[in-house]
């Protein structure tokens, strides 16, 4: 019954029209009531005529020169056929005639107000109908459509601009999803196809030497597939907010990663300065370690021999935790830096300042962005001059504690 009543609800246009009409009727009724009270108690009626005086519906202004009301038994006669004369012999008769004429005028004006209100409400709601028709016609392939913006800058214009901004974000999200699916399938298919080719060649020529060569190649391809799969799982976990909440010491994590990255940095000919500063956050220590590892790894990878990498951890005046990673890599533009956080996007490998290390899978910075988002943080990447990049991550401090849901043993085991 409630669902049927909801579907039978009047349209906004009808409700606006009835609202206008109701307000007009209430105002007019109040005015008539006040006028009635004023005429009843305000003027002093002292008729001196003993005879009945008749007045017409047309009023004194509409009656001709033949109309007169002087003397006993005088009548104001109508000047046009069809007009009725009302006999006013007392104050009660006058008030009754006043109420009757006012009610007729109110009914006529009420009809006019309802018609005008219906038209005005339709014109006011026309932009909303345009928004509705545009929303109904939008599908996955037509997200590029926008609501035309015209008219004054009012609430409806603001709604249209907000809707267009939402469509723009949806279009970008769908495009990123399509690119992600295409890139993920390509990245996973490439090592599998290479492994199949190596196996086919090895089986076609059963040579022990060929088997010895194929073993490390297959192992490297398998390692790459494993890394891509683990990166995709980490990205999905961060995007869906499936994170633990515990106290994490960013200073200790930074120092731990500094020790672990020294062999990698020495091989690339890059110097990683010992991180300084301490700060504590409330979040997932495993994901936060992955965040810092990806930042340091990218800072080393996209650098030149003899370059430097600095890692700083600090607590801001507002109580937030700050992680800042800076390197002396190639010169980058802001557009290229922004695209670097898209999944499977890689920086230009032809940069002369790039180290000799092989390229990554293009998910490192995308994972960083997802982890920051999962922790309600912010991330900024600023290209340095003349060259290099500085990435700053701000995370809520330990006061921003979010109670975590209890984990099952299976989830805890998977987390470890």
CA-based R_g, the chain, Å: 41
Q: What is the pLDDT of residue 77?
A: 53
Residue 160: its pLDDT value, please?
82
Q: Is 280 helix (H, G, I), strand (E, B) or coil?
A: strand
Give the span between the Cα atoms of 168 and 416, in whole angstroms.
39
Instruction: Give the architecture-level CATH label for domain 243-415.
Output: 2-Layer Sandwich (3.30)
Residue 223 · residue 260 · CB < 8 Å: no
Token pair for residue 340? 């670097």
201 contacts: CB under 8 Å, gap ≥ 6: 210, 214
192 DSSP 8-state letter: H
Using DSSP's 3-state secondary structure scheme, residue 125 falls into helix
Name 89's Cβ contacts closer than 8 Å, sequence gap at least 6. Answer: 52, 53
Q: Which CATH class is domain 171-236?
A: mainly alpha
pLDDT at 32: 84
Is residue 187 within 8 A of residue 228, CB to CB? The reply is: yes
Please give the pLDDT value at position 341.
78
Give the burial class of 309: count Cβ atoms within 10 A of its Cβ; 0-12 exposed, 13-18 middle, 19 or more buried.
buried
Residue 241's φ and ψ, nearest 5 degrees, are 70, 20
Q: Are strands 389-395 and 321-327 parallel, antiparallel or unpaired?
A: antiparallel
Greatest alpha-carbon pair distance for the chain in Å reads: 141
CA distance linking residue 236 with residue 244, whole number of Å: 14
Sequence spans of domains, the chain: 2-52+89-137, 171-236, 243-415
SS3 call for 87: strand
Q: Looking at residue 276, what DSSP letter applies?
A: B
Query: Which residue in the block uniquely carries the two structure tokens 């309802």?
Result: 114
Q: CB of 284 within 8 A of CB of 249? A: no
For position 137, what pLDDT does the model report?
77
Spatial contact of 45 and 141, defined as CB atoms under 8 Å apart: no
Nearest Cα neighbor of 349 from 301, 295, 387, 300 is: 301
Output the tens digit of pLDDT for each of the chain's 416 residues.
454 444 567 888 888 888 888 888 888 888 888 888 877 776 665 544 444 444 444 444 444 444 444 444 444 555 555 555 556 567 777 778 788 888 888 888 888 888 888 888 888 888 888 888 877 777 656 777 787 777 677 788 888 888 888 888 888 777 777 777 776 776 677 778 888 888 887 778 777 777 778 888 888 888 877 877 777 777 777 766 666 778 889 999 999 989 988 888 998 899 999 988 888 888 888 889 889 988 998 899 889 889 999 999 998 888 889 999 999 988 888 888 877 777 777 665 445 444 444 556 677 788 888 888 888 889 999 988 888 899 999 998 776 554 444 343 333 333 33
Provide CB contacts within 8 A for 180, sequence distance 6+: 343, 344
Please give the span between the terminal C-alpha atoms of the chain, in angstroms, as a whole number.
53
Check residue 87 and give its pLDDT. Answer: 61
**Look-up of token digits 């196996």:** 199
């Amino acid at each position: 019954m409630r669902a049927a009543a909801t579907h039978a609800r009047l349209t906004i246009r009808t409700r606006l029209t009835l609202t206008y009409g109701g307000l007009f009727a209430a105002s007019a009724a109040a005015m008539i009531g006040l006028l009635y009270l004023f005429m009843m108690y305000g003027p002093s009626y002292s008729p001196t005529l003993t005879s009945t005086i008749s007045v017409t519906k047309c009023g004194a202004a509409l009656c001709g020169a033949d109309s007169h009301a002087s003397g006993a038994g005088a009548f104001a006669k109508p000047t046009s056929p069809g007009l009725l004369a009302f006999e006013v012999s007392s104050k009660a008769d006058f008030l009754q005639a006043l109420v009757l004429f006012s009610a007729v005028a109110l009914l006529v004006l009420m009809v006019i107000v309802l018609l005008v209100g219906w038209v005005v409400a339709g014109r006011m709601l026309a932009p909303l109908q345009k928004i509705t028709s545009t929303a109904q016609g939008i599908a996955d392939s037509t997200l590029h459509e926008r609501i035309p913006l015209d008219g004054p800058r009012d609430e409806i214009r603001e709604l249209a601009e907000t809707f267009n901004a939402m469509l723009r974000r949806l279009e970008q999200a769908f495009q990123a999803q399509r690119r992600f699916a295409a890139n993920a399938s390509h990245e996973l298919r490439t090592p599998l196809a290479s492994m199949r080719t190596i196996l086919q060649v090895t089986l076609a020529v059963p040579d022990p030497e060929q088997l010895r060569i194929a073993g490390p190649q297959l192992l490297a391809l398998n390692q790459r597939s494993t890394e891509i799969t683990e990166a995709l799982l980490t990205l999905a976990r961060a995007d869906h907010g499936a994170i633990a909440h515990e106290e994490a010491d960013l200073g200790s994590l930074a120092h731990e990663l500094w020790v672990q990255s020294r062999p990698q940095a020495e091989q690339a000919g890059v110097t990683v300065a010992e991180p300084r500063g301490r700060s504590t956050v409330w979040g997932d220590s495993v994901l936060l370690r992955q965040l810092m590892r990806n930042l340091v790894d990218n800072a080393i990878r996209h650098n030149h021999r003899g370059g430097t990498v600095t890692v700083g951890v600090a607590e801001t005046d507002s109580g937030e935790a700050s992680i800042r990673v800076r390197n002396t890599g190639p010169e980058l533009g802001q557009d290229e830096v922004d695209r670097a956080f898209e999944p499977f996007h890689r920086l230009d490998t032809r940069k002369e300042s790039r180290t000799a290390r092989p390229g990554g899978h293009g998910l490192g910075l995308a994972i960083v962005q997802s982890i920051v988002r999962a922790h309600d943080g912010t991330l900024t990447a600023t290209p340095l001059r003349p060259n290099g990049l500085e990435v700053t991550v701000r995370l809520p401090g330990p006061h921003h504690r979010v109670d975590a849901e209890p984990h099952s043993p299976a989830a805890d085991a998977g987390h470890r």
